[in-house]
A and B are shown apart, each in its own frame.
Chain A
Amino acid sequence: MTTTATGAAAYAPDRGETGLQEQRARAAFWFLAPMLLMLFFVAAWPLLRSIWFSFTDTTLNNLYGGEWAGFQNYLTWRELPSGRIRWGGTLADPAWWNAVYNTVRFAVISVGLETLFGLLIALMLNAEFKGRGIVRAAILIPWAIPTIVSARMWGWMLNDQFGIINHMLLSVGLIDSPIAWTARADTAMIAVIVVDVWKTTPFMALLILAGLQMIPRDMYESARIDGIHPVRVFFRVTLPLLKPAIMVAVIFRLLDALRIFDLIYVLTPNSSATKTMSIVARENMIDFNRFAYGSAQSTLLFAIIFLFVTLYIWLGRVDLTGEGRR
């Protein structure tokens, strides 16, 4: 053991320590193996099977009898006797593109609003004031409520005949007749977004708050002494320093929003104005007896999310692993 082997011992192979290092690496392999095996079985293998199904004509009733069908579930075309070309497959399916549009619209709007409100609430919680603990506890409540339960609660509050939202709006005079929030095509998406923003803003606020608290106080102090306006301080100092925290929070939320299923399944089932990619894929797989077609859609969803993340990390230079911190 050399005297220099203090901090480096655990991390870097030092000359003369290769034996120990090898032993550690071997142990590391055996420590990782069970987890990797498990992830292979519950994640990699099912994903590969789903992708495989998407290239076959498998049906739900005959999982093992599917035959290779190439890209038929994705895109196919055929010339009709009249010479007209008829396109088929998911990529030519308006229902799919409608779902893509709904999903992206939902993800962008809800995550945008959540970030904005989350930032405001985080700034509020970062200030010293009486009752801060109570406020922090209160905003954790929406986050703790299961999605299905919040969908049910809001479904009840948004009920057209007996819902309290309509009651409030009516008594304030904002509307003159009850609105069927979850039923109307033009308000169904608003209802879904409202519930999602309500439920997930706390998560955003907490993540951003953690970022805020890492900003050294003396920074504000010196800005104050220099007499810089607080708004300027916010845009020049706070926001740039917060950017990494916000970027990470946004990516996680976006991923979650892009695969949304349960909230919509319970709050606005079957409404084509809110059908998302997950909903449509499940519908095809199960309700419509187009298992392979639905698999193709879920594969596309996976591909879209994958692309999205890669782009985001690359463009935003987001450091997700935290390796860069040391």
Chain B
Amino acid sequence: MLHITKAAALRSSALAAAVAVVGSAAAAQGVTITYVSGAVGAAVENFDRLVAPWEERTGNDVVLVPMPASTTDQFGQYRLWLAAQNGDIDLYQTDVIWAPQLAEHFVDLTEAAAGIVDQHFPSIVESQTVNGRLVALPIFTDAPALYYRTDLLEKHGAEVPTTWAELTETAQRIQDAERAEGNSEIWGFVWQGNAYEGLTCNALEWIKSFGGGQIVEPDGTISVNNPQAVEALELAASWVGTISPEGVLAYQEEEARGVWQTGNAVFMRNWPYAYLLGNGEDSAVRGLFDVAPLPVGEGEGATSAATLGGWNVAVSRYGRNQEVALDLALYLASEEAQKQRAINEGNLPTIMSLYEDPEVLEANPYFERWQEVFLNAVPRPSAPTQNAYNQVSSLFWSAVHDVLSGNQSAADALEVLEADLEDLKGDGWQ
């Protein structure tokens, strides 16, 4: 493990002080800042627009390095680059779950952000604090929604489902009816079933909503092998090939959105970014859908569960222009940038006051309802499992993928998973 040397600590606090004193004026140096981020939808174009005011104000340039949307693929590459202590990337857009694993490579932002952290939701700021160091600033948060087709529900006289059982039934009924009318491409429900981090999110929601815990509890206990979890996975497995296409086992967010946005799905589980894209000019479902919280499971402790997502910006310790990069990071986390992001991309802000902003609410009318959803969102067990999180998640999604593809019964898969996780845990997570 790298230890933060005293010199480095001094440097970063001096740097923070400099920024605090001189503000963004210190950044007017005409340098190029490289920002790396996964790119979904129209993220590339939107990012150019997003940073334009900052570029104009400071006279610096921002270059975006687009990466595949899969957070799993991004993480491996970032870890490698950071381990190489490479200075070609100044800012990393980091997933909410990465903080403990990459903390040592990022500049401590505690002092630089001292004046603004109060504007953000405390739980989100806390998730990015590792051993007292604030390693990344939140730029947007995420909690998935159930997208549903208002026109189809109305046509077939269905209510918005509140339980998974209702969803299954409604999706099947509308799918059958629509197909009988010749709409052969229609599917009931699309979601993310590819073997990757996104499946961990989906499956965590099913299990949590059935009262089956959250894989590894905050105190480090492995809880995943229980009857409710089995029930949840069995229900999900029953969707594949009935209300969901078999290909859902290879879908990530963008594939699901592809089916949805061409008008070929009644329901979709996806993140808020799909809301504005679905209302875009070339969308087949423009104005024909709305969102609701994800359905509730059955049994004791059943609830509606949404996995907490969200992205942050972190300053690399190896960047060549850390002061300027820090200034850009502060801008990206600021109210101005988050507002623009909310309006252009439909990302959920992490700044509390934006949930009362009329312009934001006009673009995303459902945000008002959503504050509650993500404040109660389930975190993935990245905090308790620390450095082992990626393995935990990989074991979990592999087991779930196996169940979904019918290779194993849910009960068997979870029993084996529990044993695997126990082996991984050993004497304790570290």
Contacts and interface: CB of A to CB of B under 8 A. Distances in A.
Interface string A137-171: 00000000000000000000001110000000000
Binding site of B, secondary structure by majority: helix, strand, loop or mixed? helix
Contact of A184 (B75, B105, B246): B246
**Secondary structure type dominating chain A contacts:** loop
With most chain B CB atoms within 10 A of its CB, the pick from A94, A185, A186 is A185
Nearest to B84: A60
A79 to B, nearest CB: 13
A179 interface: yes
Q: How large is the interface on A (under 10, 10 to 19, 20 to 34, 35 or more residues)?
A: 20 to 34
Nearest to B196: A270
Contact of A160 (B101, B250, B401, B423): B250
A61 B250 contact: no
B250 A182 contact: yes
Contacts of B72: 270, 287
B249 A183 contact: yes
Contacts of A289: 79, 101, 387, 390
B245 A160 contact: yes
Contact of A269 (B1, B196, B248): B196
Interface residues of B, number: 40
Contacts of B423: 86, 88
B83 A161 contact: no
B79 A180 contact: no
Given A62-B2, A160-B250, A270-B195, A288 B390 contact: yes
Contacts of B1: 59, 61-62
Contacts of B390: 287-289
Contacts of B101: 289
Given A270-B194, A272-B398, A286-B80, A183 B2 contact: no
A183 B246 contact: yes
Interface in A91-138: 94
A59 B83 CA distance: 9
Given A183-B247, A269-B70, 18 more contacts: A61-B105, A62-B2, A161-B185, A183-B193, A183-B246, A184-B246, A184-B249, A185-B402, A269-B195, A270-B72, A271-B401, A272-B398, A286-B76, A286-B80, A287-B79, A288-B391, A288-B394, A289-B387
12 contacts: A61-B1, A161-B247, A177-B241, A178-B247, A180-B246, A183-B248, A184-B249, A272-B402, A286-B79, A287-B75, A287-B79, A289-B387
Interface of B: 1-2, 70, 72-73, 75-76, 79-80, 82-83, 101, 104-105, 185, 193-196, 241, 245-251, 259, 387, 390-391, 394, 397-398, 401-402, 405, 407, 420, 423
